């Protein structure tokens, strides 16, 4: 069978060359690029500035792979969750989170996840594949359109906190961010983008060397080795000391504050010694600790700590000069909150 190529895998330069090689004019490449990436069309027929014969020629050679929103759910609090169908039939989820002043897109980087955090619903789906750069870009684009349609304003922020571990799909995530931030794409500032990682030391250093401009968040949850390994087993492979060293390197190179995501669970990490270990771990650089509310995932092992215990964390961290925020999850009624993305009820 003659497999058609995905035209979206071609850069602008490659498109220009394609047309030149066909004996056509190179600027047709720019036109196609614009239709694909700025206007976001899903068919060659829709590229109306091209002659009909050119559109038919493209149709014969290429496909335009694109994502499709299968199901869109709206939460009582305004949060929107999309079940996104990929060209090969697999599903991922992405979420739009509105507040008074912003709209944030929470996007996925992998189908499933290769890490095995015991408190996260996504970990129960094995990692099926990495998303392509344009599949990541498309999630952002769709949410930008939803933001305009439902809230009358464009998307303001992006967090890579959906399904998957973004650093395990390093190249495609960076390519997608390039497109999101370039004038040819959505032209968003990288300062409005946060990549969240469970902490792969080698790749954190690579990001620092690559001089990336987006923000970094680390899902820490414990700064005590035995505790972290018990809830995030890959901690055995990427030890805390190496993570800390990589983060130190990141800070030296970028001078960017590091955000830590942290859930406090009853009986797991709710003691004074847990807070003290956290303070010791992050005090080498300006840090912010984001205390995230636990979202139950049909599992009796984990329970959100009582508000008083959370206050101890808050107080001790603040005394140590660390910024603290408490994040209440949104979209819980539609399983759209942190750690709840698991294609619930939609796996075929
Ligand atoms: N793999 C990346 C991206 C996922 S981000 C990372 O680990 O950072 C999703 C965030 O939600 C992470 O901070 C994760 O630790 C947190 N999380 C996972 N399950 C959760 C749950 N049940 N309740 C609250 N937060 C959870």
Average pLDDT over residues 151-174: 96
Token pair listed for 29: 């490449």
Query: Does the CB atom of residue 339 touch ligand 1 within 6 A?
Result: yes
Q: Is the pLDDT of residue 348 over 50?
A: no
Query: Can you name the residues that pair with 110 across neighbouring β-strands?
Result: 130
Taking the centre of ligand 1 as the mean of its atom positions, its distance from the CA of residue 159, in whole angstroms, is: 12
CA distance 278 to 272: 10
Q: Which of 327, 321, 345 lies closest to 335 in space, CA to CA?
A: 345
Average pLDDT over residues 235-254: 95
Q: Which residue intervals of 6-162 are DSSP H helices?
A: 12-21, 27-37, 52-61, 133-151
Three-state SS across 231-264? HCHHHHCCCHHHHHHHHHHHHHHHCCCEEEEEEC
Token pair listed for 118: 């015991």
User: Virtual CA dihedral for 290, 228, 110, 218, nearest 10 degrees?
Assistant: 30
Query: Does the CB atom of residue 103 touch ligand 1 within 6 A?
Result: no
Query: Does the CB atom of residue 165 touch ligand 1 within 6 A?
Result: yes
pLDDT of res. 2: 58
Query: Cβ contacts of residue 183 below 8 Å, gap of 6+?
Result: none
**Closest-lying ligand 1 atom to the alpha carbon of residue 198:** 7
pTM for this one?
0.93
pLDDT of res. 347: 44
Taking the centre of ligand 1 as the mean of its atom positions, its distance from the CA of residue 338, in whole angstroms, is: 5
CA distance 165 to 167: 6
Query: Does the CB atom of residue 261 touch ligand 1 within 6 A?
Result: yes
**Closest-lying ligand 1 atom to the alpha carbon of residue 115:** 1
Contact (CB, 8 A) for 216 and 250: yes
3-state DSSP call for residue 267?
coil
- Enumerate the active-site residues: 93, 338
94 labelled binding-site residue: no
Taking the centre of ligand 1 as the mean of its atom positions, its distance from the CA of residue 341, in whole angstroms, is: 10
Question: pLDDT per residue over 290-320, tens digit each?
Answer: 999 998 887 778 999 988 889 989 999 999 9
């Amino acid at each position: 069978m003659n497999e058609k190529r995905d035209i979206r895998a071609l850069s602008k330069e490659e498109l220009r060359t394609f047309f030149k090689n066909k004996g056509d004019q190179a600027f047709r490449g720019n036109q196609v690029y614009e239709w694909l990436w700025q206007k976001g069309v899903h068919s060659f027929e829709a590229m109306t500035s091209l002659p009909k014969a050119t559109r038919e020629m493209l149709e014969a050679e290429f496909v335009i792979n694109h994502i499709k929103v299968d199901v869109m759910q709206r939460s009582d609090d305004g949060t929107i969750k999309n079940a996104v169908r990929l060209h090969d039939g697999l599903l991922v989820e992405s979420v739009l989170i509105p507040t008074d002043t912003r709209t944030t897109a929470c996007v996925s980087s992998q189908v499933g996840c290769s890490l095995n955090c015991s408190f996260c619903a996504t970990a129960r789906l094995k990692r099926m594949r990495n998303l392509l750069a344009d599949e990541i870009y498309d999630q952002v684009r769709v949410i930008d359109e939803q933001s305009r349609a439902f809230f009358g304003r464009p998307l303001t922020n992006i967090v890579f906190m959906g399904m998957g571990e973004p650093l395990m799909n390093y190249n495609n995530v960076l390519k997608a961010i390039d497109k999101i931030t370039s004038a040819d794409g959505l032209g968003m500032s990288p300062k409005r983008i946060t990549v969240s990682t469970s902490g792969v030391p080698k790749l954190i250093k690579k990001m620092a060397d690559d001089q990336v401009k987006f923000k970094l968040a680390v899902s820490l949850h414990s700064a005590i080795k035995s505790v972290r390994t018990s809830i995030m087993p890959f901690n055995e492979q990427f030890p805390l000391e190496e993570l800390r060293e990589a983060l130190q390197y990141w800070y030296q190179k970028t001078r960017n504050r590091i955000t830590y995501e942290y859930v406090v669970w009853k009986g797991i990490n709710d003691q004074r010694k847990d807070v003290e270990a956290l303070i010791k771990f992050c005090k080498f650089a300006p840090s912010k600790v984001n205390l995230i509310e636990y979202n139950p995932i049909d599992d009796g092992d984990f329970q959100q700590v009582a508000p008083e215990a959370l206050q101890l964390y808050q107080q001790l961290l603040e005394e140590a000069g660390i910024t603290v925020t408490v994040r209440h999850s949104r979209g819980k009624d539609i399983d759209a909150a942190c750690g709840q993305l698991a294609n619930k009820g939609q796996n075929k």
